[in-house]
Amino acid sequence: MHFILLASCCLLFMSACSSSVVPPPRSAETLMSEGETLFAGKRYDEAIASWEKVRERYVSPEMNALAELKIAEAHFLAERYIEAAVAYEAYLKTHPDDLNSANVLYNLGVSYHQEMLAPMRDQTTTRNALSAFKTFLNRYPDDPRRPTVEKFIAEEEDALAGHELHIGTYYQKRGVNTAAIARLEPLITTYPNFSHRDELYFILGRAYLHNDKRELAAELFNRLSKEYPQSKYTQKAIKLLEEKF
């Protein structure tokens, strides 16, 4: 009886042990495949987790590069653009001549572009987007996405010009006209397609006027009147001319 009881206990113990056996680790190839399936199902966080494990295994440089690229793409499609930009930057640094560089550069530019702030705020992401897209055009001038990239570049340059105008206006309103002029003058030639060019003419002309550069002010106000006759800044400029001349 004791023997039967002891045997039963042993069987129960062996059964418990067998149920807690740790399965063998999945291969990097399996993890890559699982990541692809999760990615296709838009389960981006889980896909990234699978590909991170592939990177940890480091089976080969080629597989690691593919995992890095997939992780960046998952962040991008999940609209986590800062994480995507960091991942794409790292990929380009490690694989500068990769066959995927055109797509990587394009997505890098889009990632930064999506994180652009209003002109009165910091423009670091705007500058980063502009740099990525200009590099893209230099390397791949015949890429079919060129018109889209040029549109992005125009928006970024407009934001940068707006940022400079915001700072120049701040200086001018506080009577620091020399600093305002130094900030605003370059915008006329650097950003010829600036969407607030009429405002630029007016603020810069006013800075000239208050800095005893009456001829330059008159010249710029006349230019404002000729190029933007319907602008509200034209009416303000005419009023200033009547008062000061």
User: For the segment 102-147, what is each residue's pLDDT rounded down to a tens digit?
Assistant: 999 999 999 999 999 999 999 999 999 999 999 999 999 999 999 9
Q: Are 79 and 115 in contact (CB under 8 A)?
A: no
Assess if residue 14 is contained within a domain: no
Q: pLDDT tens-digit profile of 219-228?
A: 999 999 999 9
The whole-number pLDDT of residue 23 equals 59
Assess if residue 61 is contained within a domain: yes
Residues 6+ apart with CB under 8 A from 59: 28, 29
Over residues 12-23, mean pLDDT: 50
The whole-number pLDDT of residue 1 equals 45
Assess if residue 47 is contained within a domain: yes
Over residues 56-63, mean pLDDT: 85
Q: Are 200 and 184 in contact (CB under 8 A)?
A: yes
Q: Give 25's pLDDT tier (boundaries 50, 70, 90).
A: low
Assess if residue 109 is contained within a domain: no
Q: What is the domain count for the chain?
A: 1
Burial of 21 (0-12, 13-18, 19+ CB in 10 A): exposed
Ranking 5-19, 133-147, 227-241 by mean pLDDT, the lowest is 5-19
Task: Enter the pTM of the model.
Answer: 0.84
Give the range of the structural domain holding residue 44, as residue numbers without chain letter. 28-78
**8-state DSSP, 78:** T
Assess if residue 64 is contained within a domain: yes
Q: pLDDT tens-digit profile of 138-150?
A: 999 999 999 999 9
The whole-number pLDDT of residue 9 equals 46
